[in-house]
Structure 1
Amino acid sequence: MSREGAEPKPEPSGGPSIDWEHRKLYDDVIQAIYALPEEFETSLHISDFRATDIFTLNTALGASIEDSVVRGLNRLREVWDADGKYAVYRFERQSQAFPDVRLVTEVPDKEPCLMGIELKGWFAMSKEGEPTFRYQVTPRVCADADLLVVFPWVLSDVVAGAPKLLNPFLTEARYAAELRNWYWRDMRIRNGGNPGITLAKHQTPYPSTKVDQCSDRADVDGGGNFGRVARYGLMSDWIRSIAQQHVSGIPVIAWLSFFKLFSDKADLDQITDTIESELHKFVAEDDTRRESLADAFARIVSMLKGESLEE
């Protein structure tokens, strides 16, 4: 039940006007984003990596993977610019600006930036089980065509190999910012807290740098939770869907539960004893996948004991 006089919950706008001259470009870029996991290429390759360090990967590789995503979008030009109308434009990552990926050109007499993507990478086997980035940009700094995109990734061989993209999360950048502020105010009022938000000084799209003047700030935020996108329901369904995607034939959520056993520094014998109960959480007793899951877990245990996986 909504409170009397409560601020209405924001809704997506549907993107820029259908009459906008670049609307087809906007729609085609979205198609390219969804197509990217199948076409993604990177020179990154991880080997000789300890499975016990699996949760450090997001910090170690996040920026490099985001760079590879931008290169991938430019390689998919035939998807978002099939007729060559935007040949002088390219996606460019500017890590200290908002949005941090922009479709830009330096050609005189051309609009310098047509749209932007605030790009986030998320290692899908991170310990938290959800993206932890903070999104604090003020709504009005988001142009109509700007997007917030989160690309989850895993390693092709779980604890080794090349980064592999999973299905992305995509939403309107302004809507995500509006919903964040609405959620914060609503949640704080319901809990008897201070709902105040100090809006950013900068209120127009495409600031030159990502500095404090384009970020909103909660007046009271002792836990540092303002801007935690995963906390206000925007991507809950998507996070659950990623948890069920298979990597090497095993659901992400099963791998994550397994790695958490090691992160707690449990004794290997203790871990082995726990595996049986963990299996029951993900597959039924009579499901043939249970055997595959047990085998996969056993291989990781062998690796941690220093045994060869080639046997």
Structure 2
Amino acid sequence: MPSDGRAPRIDEPTPPEPDPDHRITSLANRVRDALTALPIHFQSPTVMEGLDATDLFALNTVLGATIEVQVVEALNRMREVWDPEGEWPLHEFVRQAQTFPDVLLRRRSTQGIDDVAMGIELKGWYLLAKEAVPSFRYTVTPMACSQWDLLVVVPWCLSNVVSGKPRVLGPGIWSARYAAEYRNYWWQNIRHARSDMTIRIPAGVEPYSGRDHTVDEPVSDSGRNFGRIARIGIMDDWIDDAIRRPLAGIPARDWTAFLRKHTDDSDPETVWSILSAEAVEVLAGGSAARTEEVLSTLRRLTSLLDAD
């Protein structure tokens, strides 16, 4: 690294390959299995009712942190998945605020010293958010990530689209270190920019060190785009799959487009006529009951647009 702390140009990174015989490697693989099974085990007591349709975009702000807490609770209930042999009896998943990573799998000793097995940078993504992609910034420096740490994005929605309990879908899972390395590689080698592409790298950072300054900082970033991990390519296939998933029979991306297009001033009957016709066309060949269920949900949504 240059003496001024700036990152040199790097070759395209690849995901780390931990020793397959290491006990944490086996643990991390089982944690990945548990994360994949989240949709089955996730539970939320929260019930959302009476929302105006145009308020749906704000749900990630209202419920995002709660969803992340409930994901951690679900992981702790799934101990039989990630610790079937009881090798980690005193470890549990805990959240930590304002520090990377968001979640630690740790054991607290009687002396108050943490024994950390691995970490998860956990982000919830409300599928009907206006951006239509995860919008968080991921700026942690690669050396703050162990080879087992994960970046996990959990998409969620309401059980009845516009109301009900939160439910989660299959999460996206990436190596936290690889995501940070690829972000820097993309910033310096792939994006097309005339500005200075140098990145300032903090020195002396290690995983779980508790240091305040563990982020990489671009020299030039007037648009504050550094760290927008959904834009660099590694999530593209997963995001595309997520927004294609049907909610009440209609792909999530179409719900988002509908909500983004129609404001409080839109005429609900016009909206209903257009959308119901599109829904009938999309659902052609399906059961009458399913079509009626979708149309009922759409009618409810358009009535919310006309709510006082």
**What TM-score do you get using the length of structure 2 for normalisation?**
0.88
192-201 vs 67-76, greater mean Cα deviation = 192-201
Higher RCO (CA < 8 A, seq sep 6+): 2
Q: Which amino acid aligns with 1:207?
A: S
Q: Which aligned segments of 4 or more residues in structure 1 are displaced greater than 3 angstroms? A: 108-111, 276-280, 286-296, 303-307
Q: 1:51 to 1:71 in 2, by over 3 A?
A: same
Distance 2:93 2:14 in 1: 28
Q: Which residue of 1 aligns with 2:77?
A: 75
Distance 1:117 1:221 in 2: 27
Q: Which residue of 1 aligns with 2:300?
A: 299
1:127-155: CA deviation from partner (whole Å, max 9, x where unpaired): 11000000000001100110000000000
Equivalent residue in structure 2 for 1:9, among 4, 9, 12: 12
Equivalent residue in structure 1 for 2:98, among 90, 96, 99: 96
Q: Which residue of 2 aligns with 1:243?
A: 243
Contact 1:136 1:177 in 2 (8 A): yes
The CA RMSD over aligned residues, in Å, is 2.5
Distance 2:167 2:72 in 1: 15
Identity across aligned pairs (percent)?
39
Q: Which residue of 1 aligns with 2:187?
A: 184
1:216-249: CA deviation from partner (whole Å, max 9, x where unpaired): 0111001100000001011111111011112223
Residue 133 in structure 1 maps to residue 136 in structure 2: yes
Residue 116 in structure 1 maps to residue 125 in structure 2: no
Q: Which amino acid aligns with 1:243?
A: I
Q: Which residue of 1 aligns with 2:49?
A: 47
Which residues of 2 match residues 1-311 of structure 1 at below 5 A?
7-14=10-17, 16-107=18-109, 112-188=115-191, 190-208=192-210, 211=212, 213-263=213-263, 265-275=265-275, 279=279, 283=282, 286-288=284-286, 291=291, 293-306=294-307
TM superposition shift of 1:283: 2.7
Aligned length in residues: 296
Q: Which residue of 1 aligns with 2:6?
A: none
Contact 1:92 1:103 in 2 (8 A): yes
286-295 vs 108-117, greater mean Cα deviation = 286-295
TM superposition shift of 1:80: 0.5
TM superposition shift of 1:267: 3.1
Q: Secondary structure at the match of 1:150?
A: strand
Q: Which residue of 2 aligns with 1:3?
A: none
TM superposition shift of 1:207: 3.1
Q: Which amino acid aligns with 1:56?
A: A
Contact 2:135 2:230 in 1 (8 A): yes
Q: 1:111 to 1:59 in 2, by over 3 A?
A: closer
Q: 1:23 to 1:111 in 2, by over 3 A?
A: farther
Distance 1:117 1:46 in 2: 28
Q: 1:220 to 1:278 in 2, by over 3 A?
A: farther
Q: Which amino acid aligns with 2:168?
A: L
Q: Which amino acid aligns with 2:245?
A: Q
Structure 2 unaligned blocks of 5 or more: 1-8
Structure 1 unaligned blocks of 5 or more: 1-5
**What TM-score do you get using the length of structure 1 for normalisation?**
0.87
TM superposition shift of 1:75: 0.2
